[in-house]
Amino acid sequence: MRTKQLSTFFFLFTLVVLFALPESTSAASYVNNNQVYTYEIMEQDIKELAQAYPDLISYKVIGKSEYGRNIYAVSLGKGTSVVQVNGSHHAREWMTTMVNMNMIDQYANAYKNGSSYHGYNVRSILNNSKIWFVPMVNPDGVTLQQFGLKKFPSSDHAAIKKMNDGSMDFRRWKANAKGIDLNRQYDADWNNICCSPGRPYFKNYPGPRANYAKETITMVDFTNKTKPEMVVSYHSSGEILYWDFHQTGSWYDRDHALAKYIGKTTGYSLVYPKGYQSGGGLTDWFISHYKRPAFTIEISPYVGETSVPLSYFSSIWNENKTIGLYAANEGHKLFLTKYNPVKAAATKKVNDAFLASKSLRPYHTSNLKTTADIKATTSFISLYNKTGSLIKTAEQSLPGLTKSDRDFLSQYIVEAKSRKLDAARFIDAVYVGDQLLEQKGRFASLINQNKIDDNFVVQYNAMSSSINKAEQVMSRIYGSQYRQLTRDKYISPSKIARESVIYEVSRYNLLKIIEKELNNEQLEQIEERFAVLERLEDRSVQIKEAGNKLYPGKYPDHPEIEEQLVTLRDSLIQQYKEIVGIDETVFFQEIEQLYADYESLTTISSDLSILDSIYHAEEQVTFIDESSLDAESKVLYDEAIIKLSELSTFKEVVLLGEEILVLQGEIEAGQSDEQKLALVNEKQQLFVEKISILVNESIKQLLQETYSIQ
């Protein structure tokens, strides 16, 4: 179903601008149009508007002026397409900042109220688009024009005054505060700009080179980062509209149609250049560099070399109030003409990646019938690599999409990545598994050399580590049945190879510990360690018998290795006997005395000292080499073994009886359950079996009375 969705997913955008919405009737109130609009007022208004509309308006400082004032950019809207509106490139033209700020103010108010603004559906436009305003490109120049020298360092007063032909009247000031005309600074036929005074001046000086002034550098960098579809740059005065900078063909026709609409809306005359066109302006650079439309709008009737009177603002605003919305709406249309092919290409790339990822699945699922099918074929690896490349290409196609389209397509990329990850885990498992089988082969060769030593143990431990690693890798394989099939191929045979010598290795390790302790005469645990060794020897026989029943022939005996272990054991036993001085005659006498003490028992409890003596005797007997005894000693040895067997059985019965008493006490205390009752019954049966083995009838009776078990 999702594949069908994706394959039919195409670009259908419905851009509705005019709706039957209530018309905005109440003007917004953050911008005061009845005052000289200063840098400081603008700064405060920007912050208040951002606070009033936090989900719609944001701002940032995009650079600094030559004298360190902030150059602000204000974002209005939530869409993907971008247009730019700016003002006050020229100092005396600060009323254009008011136009910018009123657009922000009134459009935000209409958006919040859900109302139409002079025929424009503001919410629709600003949900599709984002307008970046740079209300005051030249804050130093504006401040100088409005306040004169008092807001500048006294050390610069003479230089600034000189650029103004010695006059203290700065009402005509047009440049930035360093005497550079910012709208003659951009890299658009800059070398051919006319009418330069040749030095920093209140107007027309284009600077020593293009993009020299900090303000110009800021605007170029910001424009390159945001890449607007259209730029509207406000200036004053003259009620004219510049729009043409060497466009031709359909490019010219497109921009001309947009300019005519703006001209019709504002009532301003379009300028049609004839012959020479002086460049250097922001819109000149933008048109030539991006091949996108840009408009320099000169507001107000011509007022000469000064600022536009405040009394003109009402009519100026009436002429320009919808231009920002028009630019955003048309910019979005331009965006879509480029965007639809981009979206189609992205959709195809995502679809290719998704379908490739689906093709990976059978290689590590349905194609696997037996362990022989567990392999990473060349075609599988090739498709895996191709899928990775397709996913990467698909991801790279997403950044240019709208958020909703990006989110939609991202679902399929996430799923494709998940399928690729499943394939990667299987491929990893096969790689690790093949390495494990190679290691198993080397280990089997080592076993067949019939020599156990430290290197043998090292290789055994390495084998164990590799098995653990392989199990971890294979635990991540997709599908339980495929995990099991992979384990059957790799883990099971490797474990069998390891377990076939597990007790040989365990015995060897223990013997090396005993050897070290004997050499250092650390004898505290020696007897206990020899007892453990004896149990390991018994267990070694048992595990081979059980293993060969399950896997016939997989748990072979290794007589030569066994001989090495026995030889080492016997030599260590002899070494221990020599150190501690075990005397068989004394041992036989101790058993005789211990048995006499046993026969004279009249009470039984868990703290009988005889129990420790029996345990000690059991350890001691392991150090007597029966084959080295003479005939007389052999008779004494056999008698001692019979008596020690009786004593050992007695010890086991006492320990069982004590366990039964504890369990019965818990049951009587109300801690009873079926499991505990069954355990008591099981131990009582074992008690009866063990006590029946005892020879001494009086001891039998004493045990039965002590533990109330017949």
298 is an active site residue: yes
d(CA 270, CA 403): 38
DSSP annotation string for 566-597: HHHHHHHHHHHHHHHT--HHHHHHHHHHHHHH
Cβ atoms of 530 and 574 within 8 Å: the answer is no
Q: At 468, list the tokens.
A: 């653990």
Cβ atoms of 493 and 585 within 8 Å: the answer is no
Give the number of other Cβ atoms within 10 Å of residue 261's Cβ: 13
Gyration radius (Cα) of the chain, Å: 48
The alpha carbon torsion through 68, 74, 79, 84 (nearest 10 deg) reads -70
DSSP annotation string for 178-193: TS--GGG-SSSSGGG-
d(CA 385, CA 482): 22
Q: At 162, list the tokens.
A: 């000189």
Cβ atoms of 42 and 134 within 8 Å: the answer is no
DSSP annotation string for 516-563: HHHHTT--TTHHHHHHHHHHHHHHHHHHHHHHHHHSTTSS---HHHHH
Characterize 524-540 residue by residue with b for buried, 16 or more Cβ atoms within 10 angstroms of its Cβ, and e for exposed.
Answer: eebbebbeebeebeeeb
Give Cα separations from 630 to 149, 576, 627, 637 (angstroms): 125, 21, 8, 10
DSSP annotation string for 259-287: HHHHHHHH-PEEP---S-----SHHHHHH
The one catalytic residue among 229, 239, 298, 395: 298
At residue 507, φ and ψ (nearest 5 deg) are: -65, -40
For β-strands 129-134 and 70-77, DSSP reports them as: antiparallel
Give the number of other Cβ atoms within 10 Å of residue 266's Cβ: 21
Q: At 455, list the tokens.
A: 């290197």
DSSP annotation string for 323-346: HHHHHHHHHHHHHHHHHHHHHHHH
Cβ atoms of 363 and 380 within 8 Å: the answer is yes
Q: At 483, list the tokens.
A: 């995990």
For the packed helices 609-621 and 526-550, what is the interaxial angle rounded to 10 degrees? 70
Cβ atoms of 364 and 122 within 8 Å: the answer is no
Residue with tokens 């350890």: 619
Residue with tokens 């919808």: 322
d(CA 334, CA 331): 5
Q: How many helices (H) and strands (E) does the chain have?
A: 23, 10
Q: Which residues are catalytic?
A: 298
